[in-house]
Structures are given as structure tokens and as C-alpha cells.
Structure 1
Amino acid sequence: MKQNRLDLVPVKLQEVDSISMGVLPNGETFLSLQGLAKFCGVAPSSIIMLAQDWAKGEAQLKTRGKQIAELIQEWTDSSEIPTSLYVEIESQYSVSDMIHAVPESIVMAITDYYAHYAQVTKSEAVRNYRRAAKLGLRKYIYDRLNYNEQDIIGESWKLFQERVLNNECPKGYFTMFDEGTTIIASLIRNNIVVDDSIMPDGSLGIHWAKYWKDQSLESKYTPRIKIIHQYPESYRQGNPPIFNGG
């Protein structure tokens, strides 16, 4: 079964005590599959096989899977059971350029299982469960990574302002960046990190260009023109020419 893949780049990814953990742009934390195994005090193969069997729908039919499913429902406060225990996200630090990220609620559910319900409970799971439960897993991982969400959000505002100031729309035209500034501002206002890996205006531009061509709008309005969009120096994009709408 194909796993869910998110085109997201973690804003923070690091190994702490040999446990790979990170933070996504929306502030949610995660552990890698192998990091989760170490967090729970079990062999990596045990968690990897659990994840594989879960995706096949086989693990949920066994005693362990049923207990974990119930715990996931409790930790997510939902009646739904996920079809996968992880999502795939891009990572330049991984050999495969991808990491299997286990969301925080599922991390807590599986740690809860190995700390309290497994036939042989694991001391590492008990210890980490208590630490994470005391602070909340998100706060626990933030502390371990020395991650300050407000600093990152402040940087998003700075980069957003830099793009606004460096890119003035030619008179008589409009750009999808200008039209999308309210969306970008709303994302940042809701603590979503916006950097060179998340640029809604790019997607808006792609859809607008397709609509413009499909509707033959150039024959009805003035042709679009190309301009250079200036990105902040830290962005990987190289200031490519983009079309403006007229």
C-alpha cells in the first residue's frame, strides 16, 4: 500500500540521544520510525514491521495492533484509525532523501502501549512516556531540539516582508504573489512557517497560468509579461522570470 507523502521540509530535524526527531512547518513534532523504536526501548525491526503490517491492514487484526489502535483513538480523540503509522516527508539528511515521520499523537499511543500494555513493558518506554506526558510531547521535543517557535515565526514575517518590499508590481498589472499576500500572512499569523519550502503563491501562479491559457484570455486582455521576482538571499530559488497577469 502506498504511504502518504507530504511535500514538506522540516523546519528542525536533529538526532538527540540517537533519537531522530523534528518539527514540521505547522509546529507539529514527530519521531522517525527508528527514533520511535529507541524511544520505546524496542528493536527498530519491531517498529518497522509493525508499520509495514499496519499499512497492509494486518497488524490491526492482532492483539497488539488492536490495543495500539484503541490507544491512537484515545490520544487523537477520534473514532478513526489511521491507515498508516507515519507519513513520508522530504529530508536532505536522509540517504533516501525521505524520512518516515511518526506524528506526535501516534508516538504517544505506541509509547503508552510499550510502557503499560505490552506483555513485557519497556523501562525506556516508561521513562520517556513519563517525561513526555509531564511536559507534553511537543514541548518535550521543542526543549530537546532547543527550538523556539516564535523565533521561527518571526523569521517568516521577516522573509515575507522582504519579498513584499523587493517586488513591486508593474503599473497596470498584477502578480499572484500580490494577490496571495493575505493567504501567506494568514498562514504565518496561525503559526505556520513560511519559507522557501512553502510558497502558496507558486501554486496559485501555476493554476492561474493554466486557467489563463485554457480560457484564451490573452486574446481578450493584454498579454502577460515576464518580470524577475526577487527572493531573499536564504531562499534556494534563483530569482527566475515569472509571468504577470494583466
Structure 2
Amino acid sequence: MPDKKPIDSKFDDVARKKVTRRRHSSSKSTRLPPMRRQSLALIQVPLDVDIEVERTIGGIEMGVLQNGMSYLTPAGLEEAAGAARSTVFELSQEWEAAMNGGVFSRQGRISFFHEYLSENGYTHRHLYIEILREGSTYYACPDIVCMAFLEYFAFETLKNNPRAIENYRSFARFGFQQFVYKALGYTPPDKWKYLHDRISIQNGSAPEGYFIVFSEVSGIVIDLINADLLVSEKTIPVFGVEKSWSDHWTKSYFDDVYGARITAVRNPQLPWAYPDEALAEFRRWFRHEYLTTRFPRYMLTRAELLDPKEGKQIGTLHQQKGIDKPSA
């Protein structure tokens, strides 16, 4: 782990100026218009990715998911912020109630979190990301939430909190992700190698008027890489995408909607070619249903891979029918 060097007073001056502008003098609540309230809390389905590495460093539980997302566990974040146990879940309940009701007080801690997280595009229902792991749900607090906690407990509370201040300095100096990567000795894989290694999978091309999954996924993978999101066989398994899309096609009776798919590719694991009329549906499904099981929604929105204006529609979609997962 990087050495923690002392920081001069200028750092504290800058940090305090930064958080001062988030304080409010009015005791009134902020009530959002009805249409805005409906779309405010987006549904974040549990991520179907595993934990790449997780350890306790300096008493703080931290880790990296297979999609490259660095995180602290709720217990690790409470330790880093010098906060009482269950603080993360208590604050998350307050956050969820405010998001669902569309009403945020102009005073108190939830006001600080609302302004901090909104400025960074975080509109999830919880202050943690749920992860499916071997049939059980685990919780990971992403970088934006962790820095909000550390800043609040370091500078916004009346109680002197040297532990929160020290950890805020450490994470802020190195950057949250880089701090966690270095602390855990984690080196992300080469993202371009994933794409290059899979060019050979495409044996032959689809006939005119049809598309194959691999070609479409390759184009979106380039967008993911350019957005600095980690792409590997663990996050975007080509055969897994084909299987999930094939299941979605069958369950939705798309043969009757777009016309029959055909067998046109020699690789038996990527056998189907689909009518071009279904391209828009495939791209919608891949971005809004498949990718959201691999990356948190705020990361995809920040990378401009999801349109935040579609939040209401997508949230309703997830609520009604969930995610089609490949069978075991």
C-alpha cells in the first residue's frame, strides 16, 4: 500500500471550501415535480459478476469486481469513515425513502448526499451495489458513495473525526480506484487483448440482410473500452451473450415479429444469424438488459452508453420482467 505522507494545510482549505457550498440554510424540503419523482430512483438489478479480489487492508475491507469496479464493503466503509456499525444501511434506507418520495430535506446528512451524488450522476435506489455470488447477495459500496461518506464524516459532522480525515486524504490523493488497486496489488487485464483474441471466433459472416451477435457485440465492446470500462471474458463472455440473446429471442417469439433466424455461421457455439430488422431490439437489449447485469448503471450512464432520459422506461422494464439469465 502507498505510504501515507503528511498533507499541508492547503489541502484542508481546499477540501473545506469544496464541502461548504453544499451546506444549506433553509429548513424547507426540496420536492420534485411528479414526473421527475417517478423516474428519479432507477432500478439497479444485482450484478452478475464475481469478486476478483477482496482483502482487509489496514482494517478496511476492500476489493475489486471482475468488471474492474473498486469498492469497500459496508463494514469497510464504516471503518474507513470512523462511523458506527450499520451506518451504511441506515443511510441507504433514508436515501431510498427520499428517492422514492422525491423529497429531500435542505438540511441534514441526506441533503449532503443528495447534492454530492447527484452531481456525479448517481441515481440508484441504494448506496451500495448488490452482487449475485453463488446464489447469495453481497454488497459493495462504489467509489462515488465511498468518497461521499468520507467527505461527510471528515468535514460535515460536528464531531472531530481524524480517521475519516486521514482516509479521505489518502483516497483523494491517489484516486479511489488507484488506491484500491495498489493496496490489493491488482493489475487489470489488457482490454484490447480480449477483443483481438476473439476475432478468430467469427468464422464466416452473416448473409446480406442478417447480423450475428459477435459482430454487434464487438462494436459495443469498443465503446466500452473507449469509455475506460474493463472488458474481459468474465464481463462480456461472447458465448454467454449469444446464449442469453437466443433465450430472449425464443421467449419473446421474435420469429413471428422479425422473421426466422437462420443457421449461417460455422462455429457451433455461435450458430445463428438474425434478421437486420431485429438490430434495434438487440442493441436495446444488450445495453439496457445485459450490460446492466455486468456494470452499475451509473457507470454506463457516465460513459454515455445509457441515456439517463430513458430511466423511467428502463426501470419499469426491469420491474416487470427482470433479466433473462442463461441457464446453468
TM-score normalised to structure 2 length:
0.55
| Contact 1:71–1:109 under 8 Å retained in 2 | yes
- Describe the superposition over 1:175-221 as per-residue Cα deviations: whole angstroms up to 9, x where unpaired: 22134322223322432222233247536555666575123623xx8
Q: Secondary structure at the match of 1:215?
A: helix
Q: Which runs of 5+ in 1 are unaligned?
A: 230-240
Q: Which stretch of structure 1 is more off in the superposition, 108-117 or 47-56?
A: 47-56
- Matched residue, 1:196: 234
Q: Which stretch of structure 1 is more off in the superposition, 37-46 or 170-179?
A: 170-179
| Contact 2:67–2:235 under 8 Å retained in 1 | no
- Matched residue, 2:53: 13
| 1:122 maps to 2:150 | no
Q: Which runs of 5+ in 2 are unaligned?
A: 1-40, 275-328
1:5 maps to a residue whose letter is V
CA distance in 2, matches of 1:164, 1:187: 17
- Matched residue, 2:178: 139
2:204 maps to a residue whose letter is C
After TM superposition, the structure 1 = structure 2 runs for residues 72-83 of structure 1, keeping only pairs within 5 Å, are 73-74=115-116, 77=119, 83=125
Q: Secondary structure at the match of 1:245?
A: strand
- Describe the superposition over 1:43-98 as per-residue Cα deviations: whole angstroms up to 9, x where unpaired: 322332222333233996596xx335325524663598754212212345xxx633
Q: Percent identity?
A: 24
Q: Secondary structure at the match of 2:71?
A: strand
| Contact 2:46–2:131 under 8 Å retained in 1 | yes
Q: Do the aligned partners of residues 174 and 2 (structure 1) sit closer, same or farther apart at CA in structure 2, a change above 3 Å counting?
A: closer
| Contact 2:131–2:140 under 8 Å retained in 1 | yes
- Matched residue, 1:244: 272
- Matched residue, 2:213: 176
Task: State the 4+ residue runs in structure 1 displaced beyond 6 angstroms.
Answer: none
- Matched residue, 2:192: 157
Q: Relative contact order: is structure 1 or structure 2 higher (C-alpha 8 Å, sep ≥ 6)?
A: 2
Q: Secondary structure at the match of 1:107?
A: helix
2:197 maps to a residue whose letter is E
Shift of 1:24: 4.9
Q: Do the aligned partners of residues 193 and 123 (structure 1) sit closer, same or farther apart at CA in structure 2, a change above 3 Å counting?
A: same
1:87 maps to a residue whose letter is I
CA distance in 2, matches of 1:67, 1:104: 18
After TM superposition, the structure 1 = structure 2 runs for residues 11-160 of structure 1, keeping only pairs within 5 Å, are 12-17=52-57, 18-24=59-65, 27-57=68-98, 61=105, 66-70=108-112, 73-74=115-116, 77=119, 83-92=125-134, 97-149=136-188, 152=189, 154=190, 156-160=191-195
CA RMSD of aligned residues (A): 3.8
- Matched residue, 1:217: 259
Q: Which stretch of structure 1 is more off in the superposition, 113-122 or 125-134?
A: 113-122
Q: Do the aligned partners of residues 207 and 84 (structure 1) sit closer, same or farther apart at CA in structure 2, a change above 3 Å counting?
A: same
| Contact 2:43–2:124 under 8 Å retained in 1 | no
1:36 maps to a residue whose letter is L
Shift of 1:10: 5.5
| Contact 2:117–2:148 under 8 Å retained in 1 | yes
| Contact 2:61–2:75 under 8 Å retained in 1 | yes
CA distance in 1, matches of 2:224, 2:79: 34
Q: Secondary structure at the match of 1:180?
A: helix
CA distance in 2, matches of 1:215, 1:49: 47
CA distance in 1, matches of 2:124, 2:235: 26
- Describe the superposition over 1:117-145 as per-residue Cα deviations: whole angstroms up to 9, x where unpaired: 22323332121111112222222222212
